[in-house]
Structure formats: C-alpha cells, structure tokens
Amino acid sequence: MNRCAKCGACTTVCPVYQVTGKEPHAARGKIHLLERMASSSGSKHFADIFSSCLLCGACLQACPRQVDTPKQVLKARQQIPRSSDEHSFLKFVVRKTFSQPGLLTGLTKVGKVADQALENILPADSGLRLRLDFFRQDRQELATREKYIDIASRTERQAGGISFFAGCYTNYLQPQIGIAIENLLAIAGEGLPHVPTTQACCGLAVQSGGGIIEAKELAQKNIKAFEGSGQILTSCASCYGHLRKYPDLFNDDWEWREKAEAFAARVCEFSTYFAQSSAIMDTLQNLHVGQNGQSVFYHDPCHLRFETAITAAPRHLFSRLGGITLVELPGGPQCCGMGGLFHLAHQNLSQRIRNGLINSLRPFSPTTIVTTCSGCLLQLRQGSSSQGLNAEVKHLAVFFAELLK
C-alpha cells in the first residue's frame, strides 16, 4: 500500500466526508485505520466505516501519493467477519442474489427476505425500509416485462462483429436501452449486435459487498459467454468500469487472468464508440431540437469520471445538437450518492448527497437529466421526483435514439 502523507487532499473531494465532516468517512481516516488494525478483527463500528464508501474513486484521483483507497476498502470488506457487520443480512442476500443468473428476478427474493429481516431489525420509520421499496415497486413491473436478452434472441445475429453486454438494468428494467443501442448502431452503419444469452450480471455489486468468490464466478461466466473476437459494447458506466477490471480478479490464476485481459481489451463504452462514428455525428449535426428552450443536464457517473476519464465523449455527442442548452454546474460534476450498496446501507447519507446535486441543479431547471449508469438513473429518478425538480431522467442512448428516430 502506498503510504498516506495525511495531506488531506482526499477530504476536499470525498462526497461522504463533505456531508458528514467525519474523519473516518474520508480516505485518510480509512487508511489510518487500516494501517493500525486488521480488518478481520474489526468491530461493528469498523464494518460500518468501511461500508460508508461510495467507491467513487474521487480520493484516488486527488491523492498525490496515488493511495488506492477504493481498492483497500474492497479488500477490507472481503475480510470483515459477517458477524461483526450490522448490514450483513443485506450483503448476504445481495451476494446470493447477484450470483444467480437472473439478478432482478432474484431481487424479488431480496424483497421477500429483506421484508422478513426488516420486521425484526429496523424500526417502522427507518429510511432503509423506505429505500427497499424499490424492490417492491419493481417487483410488480418485472412480472410483466420481457427481458432484453429474450427480445434480442428473437432476431438472427452473427457472432464475430460487435457484441452487446446488456447489464442487469437494461436486461430486466429498461430493455429500451438495448433497443436504443441497436438503433444507434444501425445509424452508424453496423448490423445488429451479438447478444450472448448466457451473459450474467457484471459482478460489481456482489464484489462491493465483499463477495469475491461470487464476483469471480460471474466474471468467468461472462468471459465464456463472450468468447471470440470483436468489440463488446456496454451501455452502463458501472458495468463498463467493472468489466475492464476483470483481470484484477485473477491475480492468483494466470490462465484466467490472460482470458480476462483479452476480454477487458474488447470492452468499449458506448458513448465513446458513437462519438467516433462520423455517421452518428453527421446525423446529429442536421438536427435542431428543443424549440421550447429545452435544457439538458448530463450527469457524469463516477465510474466514468474518475476511473476512465470518459467525460468528453458524451458532451461531444451533445455538441452537434442545435436548440438545446447543456447545463454545466459551476463547481463541476457532483456525485449522486448511489454508490452501489452504499444507498442501502446508508440511506440518509445517500439522500443528502443526492439532494446536494438536485439543489445545485435547481437554478437551471433542466427539463431532462441524462446519464449512462444504471445506479445513477435510479437515484436521479427518485431525487428528481421526490425533491420537486421534475426533470425527466433518461439514459443517454435512449435520449439520442429518440431524437434520431
């Protein structure tokens, strides 16, 4: 581990520290704890501190010594004994659920198991109960919705060209994102993407909860599903960030590491891909939209902003559109507070971070918020309606595919 110089640069960028002001919530505090005690002997308090991280990567980018706090947090979570972690029931349920092929089918089970656990553990007015309503709402919708992979499998597709990694959100909740990607590919002059039916959840959520074994199994499943050549396009920033880190999962297994490296090298973030397509850019150039003064806010997901510095490509797509104002926050992009499991374990903190972003947007009254991360979409959808901003929240691919219809 690189030595922390205690300079405090990370405290100026950590979204959690900025709302709590508590030292253990910043990277510096967490690294200090790790330097002094083994996570395997951690108390509930210790486990709570290490669950209070969004894994956003802002601290790593700001750190002059390149201390990789998100990596250390993940490692600590894997070592925390379940008995010492007050959120272990959620982590246990999520680990089990996310390692199954049908993530959100599994979330129905999460809802039931969590309901039972909640009866015994949480008071009726706990924010965590309210947050888990997500599962209940979507349970009903899921029962009638056709999965994107099933829709895709009805059309003949060739392996060898571009493939599409759908991710759970597109597959189970918003198949229209997959359809939008297909429509954009058609404008770019490509055929239908190959969509392997055996692809699984990327594994980010289960790894964030400390489930390294399940995360490896999911990675192996996806590597096998996408065997072959050609780019693997993905429309979710979190999936993208995680898929390209598959080699890190296999540092002790060189055979799988090699396969993971070949897989990761083929993974491509969709806005980067389309921003390089002259057919897409030319088509956008000829469009004039938003006669009614439409203003659009593009939210940078942390997995693109810090880990891969993909911030220009989505804006490049907007740069060709006439008639809309692209809102930029004066202080720069802000985290939405979702952070995978963070929003389940720390609902209040998650909402405070999210509301900070919504309040920063208020003076600009955006008509639409677009982003490319499944977690951010859920968080912003809730934030926009519950905080009265009432902006429509859309995936970037859906936004552009609708314009180009």
Stretch binding ligand SF4 (CB under 6 A), from 4-12, 122-130, 139-147, 239-247: 4-12
The first and second tokens of residue 381, run together, are: 């959808």
Token couple for 377: 């979409």
Q: Does 353 contact ligand SF4 by CB under 6 A?
A: no
* Residue 19 within binding range of ligand SF4, rule CB under 6 A: no
* Binding window for ligand SF4 (CB under 6 A); candidates: 13-21, 120-128, 282-290, 343-351: 13-21
Per-residue DSSP letters for 254-314? HHHHHHHHHHHHHEEEHHHHHHT-HHHHHHHHT-B--TTT-EEEE---HHHHTSS---HHH
Measured between alpha carbons, how far is residue 287 from residues 83, 272, 392 in Å?
58, 20, 21
Of 5-13, 38-46, 115-123, 273-281: span binding ligand SF4 (CB under 6 A): 5-13
b or e along 85-114 (b: 16 or more beta carbons within 10 Å of the residue's beta carbon)?
bebbbbbbbbbbbbbeebbbbbbbbbbebb
Instruction: Give the up-direction half-sphere exposure of residue 384: CA atoms within 13 A in the CB hemisphere.
Output: 20
Non-local CB neighbours of 395 within 8 Å, separated by 6+ positions? 174, 177, 180, 235, 370, 371, 372, 377
Q: Measured between alpha carbons, how far is 68 from 314 in angstroms, rounded to an integer?
A: 27
CA 395 to chain CA centroid, nearest Å? 12
Q: Does 336 bind ligand SF4 (CB under 6 A)?
A: no
In whole angstroms, the minimum distance from the beta carbon of 397 to ligand SF4 comes to 26
DSSP-derived letter for residue 239 is H
**Pair of tokens at residue 307:** 């880990």
Q: Going by C-beta distance under 8 Å and a sequence separation of 6 or more, which residues neighbour residue 157? A: 191, 192, 193, 194, 195
Q: How far is the CB of 122 from ligand SF4 (least distance, A)?
A: 24
99 binds ligand SF4 (CB under 6 A): no
Rule CB under 6 A: say whether 8 interacts with ligand SF4.
Answer: yes
Provide the 3-class DSSP secondary structure of residue 393.
strand
55 is a contact residue toward ligand SF4 (CB under 6 A): yes
Among 34, 47, 56, 114, binds ligand SF4 (CB under 6 A): 56
- In this structure, the dihedral spanned by the alpha carbons of residues 75, 81, 86 and 91, taken in order and rounded to 10 degrees, is 60
CB-wise, 259 or 354, nearer to ligand SF4? 354
Q: Does 31 bind ligand SF4 (CB under 6 A)?
A: yes
Cα angle value 135/140/143 (rounded, 5°)? 110
Q: Does 1 bind ligand SF4 (CB under 6 A)?
A: no
**Quick one: 16 or 396, whose CB is closer to ligand SF4?**
16
Tell me if 62 contacts ligand SF4 by CB under 6 A.
yes
Q: Counting every residue, how long is the chain?
A: 405
Task: Candidates 50-58, 118-126, 149-157, 180-188: pick the segment binding ligand SF4 (CB under 6 A).
Answer: 50-58
Nearer to ligand SF4 by Cβ, of 69 and 163: the residue is: 69
Nearer CB in complex with ligand SF4: 17/148: 17
Near ligand SF4 in 69-88, by CB under 6 A: 69-70
Residue 6 binds ligand SF4, judged by CB under 6 A = yes
Q: Which stretch binds ligand SF4 (CB under 6 A): 48-56, 196-204, 355-363, 385-393?
A: 48-56
27 near ligand SF4, rule: CB under 6 A: yes
Half-sphere exposure of 402 (CA within 13 A, CB side): 11
In whole angstroms, the minimum distance from the beta carbon of 64 to ligand SF4 comes to 6
Q: Which of 52, 25, 100 is nearest to 339 (CA)?
A: 52
Cβ-contact 97, 107 below 8 angstroms: yes
Number of residues that bind ligand SF4 (CB under 6 A): 27
Q: Quick check: 345 binds ligand SF4 (CB under 6 A)?
A: no
Q: Which of 19, 33, 34, 63 binds ligand SF4 (CB under 6 A)?
A: 63
Shortest distance, position 138 Cβ to ligand SF4, whole Å: 26
Q: Is 16 in the site for ligand SF4 (CB under 6 A)?
A: yes
In whole angstroms, how close is the CB of 17 to ligand SF4 at the nearest point?
A: 6
Q: Give least dist CB 181 to ligand SF4, A.
A: 29
In the complex, the residues that contact ligand SF4 under the rule CB under 6 A are 4-10, 13-16, 27-28, 31, 53-59, 62-63, 65, 67, 69-70
